[in-house]
Amino acid sequence: MIVQPQEARVEDIERVHDHRLIEQVQSENFFDPDTPAHPGIFDIARRSAGAALKAAELSLGGQVAMSLMRPPGHHAGRSQLGGFCYFNNVAIATAWALTEVERVAIVDFDCHHGNGTQDIFLGHDRILFVSLHQSPLYPGTGLSNELNCRNYPLPAGIEGSAFLDRFKKALDDVDDFDPGLIAVSAGFDAYQNDPITDMNLDRDTFGAIGLLIAELGRPCFAVLEGGYATDMAYCIKAFVEGFDETA
């Protein structure tokens, strides 16, 4: 089933972002070399956030859902944008979900560390943030664990089997946390054909990632983060087939 998203309300965005950042995006009055002030970007970014909110809502209604919208979000912190990200979609959806469930775990397997998500939720006792990412690499964060944020920096060139070994350990943290919902920042730039990163995961590895999350047996949803290969759609397809056994 394909669902058309609605734009996120400003009050939903304000749960995780300072009003000053929201005003900067709305007025297109900001500068970042990777995150340009495109005309109409405020409404575009709100629609991407709205898709994440809808995916979270569907998941709590018993469905497995994934937002395929962009711009991505996990580099956007409480008061700053960057890294192609204007508003933090997974954080906005997670903050809303905390009105429905006691705890949420965020699993981020983008090749880059989700520094914005960590900035927003660091020290939040109802959130567990788990990130597996290439290091060293932009943005240069996520080198060690901090409070409720579990970071797994990985070397360039890592193969699928080694990645999955680390991923299983990360999911042990998630299972121990006993979340009522799992939110997934699904980045596909760890793919071996990605032009801007140096990890070496094949399509089947993304299918295994999705299956391992599904096997936790908890409500879950995913949002699209990075990934720039021309054949990335096959990685997404593999992930969804593992993530949702009805796909």
Average pLDDT, the chain: 97
226: left (phi over 0), alpha (psi -120 to 50) or beta: beta
pLDDT band at 246 (very low <50, low <70, confident <90, very high): low
Q: Which residues 6+ apart lie within 8 Å of 16 measured at CB? A: 78, 88, 91, 92, 95, 120
The average pLDDT across 95-101 equals 98
Whether the Cβ atoms of residue 114 and residue 189 lie closer than 8 Å to each other: no
The average pLDDT across 32-42 equals 96
Tokens of 137: 């690499």
CA distance 230 to 233: 8
- DSSP state letters, 200-230: BB-HHHHHHHHHHHHTT-S-EEEEE-----T
Q: In DSSP terms, which residues pair with 146 in a beta bridge?
A: 149
pLDDT band at 244 (very low <50, low <70, confident <90, very high): confident
Q: Give just the sign of the alpha carbon dihedral 67, 239, 188, 59.
A: positive
Q: Please give the backbone phi and psi of residue 34, each rounded to the nearest 5 degrees, phi first.
A: -100, -10
Q: Please give the backbone phi and psi of residue 191, each rounded to the nearest 5 degrees, phi first.
A: -65, 145
Q: Rounded to two decimals, what is the model's pTM? A: 0.97
Tokens of 118: 């960590």
Catalytic position from the list 75, 112, 113, 133: 75
Q: Please give the backbone phi and psi of residue 134, each rounded to the nearest 5 degrees, phi first.
A: -70, 140
- 75 labelled catalytic: yes
What CATH number matches the domain at 10-243, 1.10.3720.10, 3.10.20.30, 3.40.800.20, 3.40.1160.10? 3.40.800.20
Residue 247 above 70 pLDDT? no
CA distance 145 to 148: 8
Q: In DSSP terms, which residues pair with 220 in a beta bridge?
A: 182
What length is written for the chain? Answer: 247
The average pLDDT across 186-214 equals 97
Q: In DSSP terms, which residues pair with 134 in a beta bridge?
A: 154
